[in-house]
Structure 1
């Protein structure tokens, strides 16, 4: 019988009203976005200004305030393609091995003789021993520092490749260890870039791996590619290195295991430092901008327990000696150790303003990039171009929407009106879902919405044509409508499930804009089926109960 239970009617109408309610903020996009940004700023800083308060009051707190985020091609922003210099990590790993290996070899100096590090290509540790006849013992000690590779592809292999030639032992990472290190470096870089971008409050960035050693970064709403590069391009590698001496000649050749770093405060002065740092930025747990004892901008930092112990032990043993605070191979300052620093906290000050101190704190909090980034591609999308894309998308969606409405009303009369109302509800529910899940809308996403408009009517067309067929068999209007929905159900479900499967494949295998298209298409399929099978049916039944027509024309 042609009827729907009351509780089902209430549920259907409730879903439609919720969809309209949660889609409504997108009709007042600028006002709601200003409300959300001001509210987030107040919560983050605890400071309320008249401008922020006015923005918060621009949208009622009791109304939903979730918005569909606009992608790079709609809002404008910056696009970067960066290559991670993974070879630097190989060098760092091998260099970090030298102090421990030197102590282990020195413990058996009587057997293997004197040891010294000799020149070798980056990523290779070359050690010359005084007694070549005992090379087997030296190799045995070095192999004690090698561990099994834990990946499936590297099963059975060791982390170090160790060989000897005459009196020289050469150590480097094995191929399996390099592959595992490269993957870990890319993943770490992705996470650190994401943290740095999130620190400045940008909206819905796209940060993903491309190929073996490249990272795609798209940040909507940021001013330029140069601004984005300044934020993420700095490696922010903070180290604390022992100072061996100073020089004014930049061409000075450092000894083995030493580096030359320029002074940031004193141009023309260069420090000779030990290559192996006492503590690194990896041991930092917090960094905040502040002021020093002279009221000048500074950055206050705090170590974790491991870093605090190492820093305390070094300062206790080297009172009266200078040590250098090095950021990205530049010496920020080189104070003399006056007393042991065992509290695990310290301060960086020097030639910086308050903005630079805040930026440095952000970089240190987010962590150091494990390797340098080389930018292969950079592009700035202006907000004007983004607005043009939005306007073009609005025109395309509006023309498609109106054309479909005109066609369906001309073809199916009053039933076409019901389909048009359901189509409007479908769009509202779709935007409500996109807003609630925080999806990012791009130009391909708009294409998915336009496609959804056609697919939503397609389901109604199947129902209406089926009702026509039932009317030709001389059945009554109520029975024809009921059978029309029942018999069209399988065709609608089959057609939409196959499309949903394709959308899922696009989402899993695609990236960037393709994912955006897949998301809007998938949600559009779900809302289309709901409106075609429930909303139009409810409208038809409500009309039929009031009009009680003896005959109907579809």
Structure 2
């Protein structure tokens, strides 16, 4: 029978309607202004902290919607932005420096919707607000680290070739050079003959005046430029990894000039955590602990040239060997967890080269102590002579453990204060240690008020366009126009639902433009179908045959038009950036959903109302 759908098609359409309504629904609930409290290094967020927070809020006559301790953080939902700002001021003043009190937005989606994966649309920086960071890479430190690496490489090369030397250290008269000292000219010449061919990017200058036999090895201008470019590119790549770890949708991470990086994080109000993760330069070094040197002698200055004294976080001095067994550059994965005693730890996985180094060292040092050195760079708030920010290098022993057996590519770091610190350390190590310290020199928080105005204007444009189309279709195509209008409304719901389901999909201002454009385009398919039905009726065919051939014959035209537009949207997404991609995403989704609703959706309604009926004398179209 013409124009009759089997039951399964109606069930499928009903399932699509229900699913779309469910996943679009979270956008109706909005978000609550909230305060997020997390601990800085060395502090813990506990139940006692929660009790204090509730007492401080009560004293300030603030009544939050809810206060919850979850995953080592306290989330306080408030009724208005004014209460949010007051609450932050009260809590910041009372909790002290041990805690970070940050503004946040907490979704109001009901728990039953969250349980099935329902969540509101991710909004871009232009709609939701967020943070903008301008970061500066410390190129002086990048060059200094390259010098340190050159010192280690030259020592290793000379030892392997059994060329004796008196010392290898940074050249005090050169910003990029290393000074090598030898006992005689023969050893100096042997060193030059071996080192020069394998280090083509360095200048070799010997100095045999005043009875000394010195060799200066310095970077060429090209090598210096390459070192700085490498530091910037690596930091750029690592920052992208860290942003991905933060779970921010549609972030922007790009270079600016020769030593700066721009980072934009839409929707992020917890700027403290973002700054802590993005600006962190934490890394690890593994050293053999010097158990042969007496600690009192070391503190009195009687220390072997091969050893150095560091302190652990409790201020206890520890003597370790200068030679680095392994650096954090070999870490490929790091996961936080707890040990058998419930203490925080970080499980480390190394690459093959790092695993080999660790295996060789631990094989010959079973029963001896090994120290884990934690290194981070912190801003001092001061400026250098060149106007750039000064950064302080902080080093401390994270733990000293006795090597019980030969280690491979996997082991663990203990001695951390809490799970939050373990989580952040794991995140930083997993994303990669920055090649050079980085400093946030400009920070802008973009409030959601401008974004809300953009949303309101976009929604108004869509509503006005929708009303114009609904009125036109209802007048011109009568009852069939009402069917098209129903499909059009369902199409908008489907676009919102699909974008909410797709991980990482973000609605931007150009994305709203894409939806508005889709609203206008979505009705085109129905216009083609309805006009074809009218033609068939004018040709004298029966009502049922006209409906059937109207849908059948218009399909190829609709498919051709939409496929060409879809290809354009895919190209825009592939070659575009930022806002262009936002437009392309909503356009592509809108094309696919409009084809579904315009062809399958309206056909199901038409079949349900007019299909298979021989008593219809006139069609309202």
TM-score (norm 2): 0.64
CA drift of 1:526 comes to 0.5
Contact 1:246–1:272 (8 Å) recurs in 2: no
SS at match of 1:59: helix
Contact 2:306–2:323 (8 Å) recurs in 1: yes
Q: Distance in 1 between matches of 2:528 and 2:273?
A: 53
Give the corresponding residue for 1:253: none
Give the corresponding residue for 1:223: 269
Output one character per residue of 1:456-484: Cα deviation in whole Å (capped at 9) or x when no partner.
01222222233334444344433433333
Q: Distance in 1 between matches of 2:121 and 2:419?
A: 35
Which structure dedicates a bigger proportion of its chain to strand?
A: 2
Q: Distance in 1 between matches of 2:273 and 2:4?
A: 58
Give the corresponding residue for 1:187: 237
- CA 1:29–1:310: 2 relative to 1, 3 Å: farther
Output one character per residue of 1:426-451: Cα deviation in whole Å (capped at 9) or x when no partner.
11222221122132222222221111
- CA 1:95–1:527: 2 relative to 1, 3 Å: same
- CA 1:275–1:469: 2 relative to 1, 3 Å: farther
CA drift of 1:402 comes to 1.6
- 1:445 and 2:511 matched: yes
Q: Give unmatched runs, 5+ long, in structure 2.
A: 35-67, 79-107, 208-214, 291-296, 350-354, 378-391, 406-410
Give the corresponding residue for 2:583: 517
Contact 2:522–2:594 (8 Å) recurs in 1: yes
- CA 1:376–1:473: 2 relative to 1, 3 Å: farther
SS at match of 1:219: strand
Q: Distance in 2 between matches of 1:547 and 1:27?
A: 44
Give the corresponding residue for 2:616: 549
- 1:164 and 2:231 matched: no
Give the corresponding residue for 1:383: 448
Contact 2:134–2:440 (8 Å) recurs in 1: yes
Greater mean alpha carbon deviation, residues 327-336 or residues 87-96: 327-336
- 1:233 and 2:279 matched: yes
The CA RMSD measured in Å over matched residues stands at: 5.2
SS at match of 2:602: helix
Contact 2:242–2:277 (8 Å) recurs in 1: no
- CA 1:336–1:526: 2 relative to 1, 3 Å: closer
- 1:17 and 2:62 matched: no
Q: Distance in 1 between matches of 2:286 and 2:525?
A: 67
Q: Give unmatched runs, 5+ long, in structure 1.
A: 35-40, 147-159, 248-255
Give the corresponding residue for 1:72: 125
TM-score (norm 1): 0.71
CA drift of 1:520 comes to 1.0
Contact 1:236–1:368 (8 Å) recurs in 2: yes
- 1:433 and 2:479 matched: no
Q: Distance in 2 between matches of 1:14 and 1:325?
A: 58
Q: Distance in 2 between matches of 1:122 and 1:316?
A: 41
CA drift of 1:403 comes to 1.9
Q: Distance in 2 between matches of 1:208 and 1:260?
A: 39
Greater mean alpha carbon deviation, residues 427-436 or residues 355-364: 355-364
CA drift of 1:359 comes to 5.7
CA drift of 1:527 comes to 0.8
CA drift of 1:499 comes to 1.4
Give the corresponding residue for 1:102: 155
CA drift of 1:260 comes to 12
- CA 1:497–1:302: 2 relative to 1, 3 Å: closer
Greater mean alpha carbon deviation, residues 12-21 or residues 434-443: 12-21
Q: Distance in 2 between matches of 1:540 and 1:108?
A: 87
CA drift of 1:509 comes to 1.5
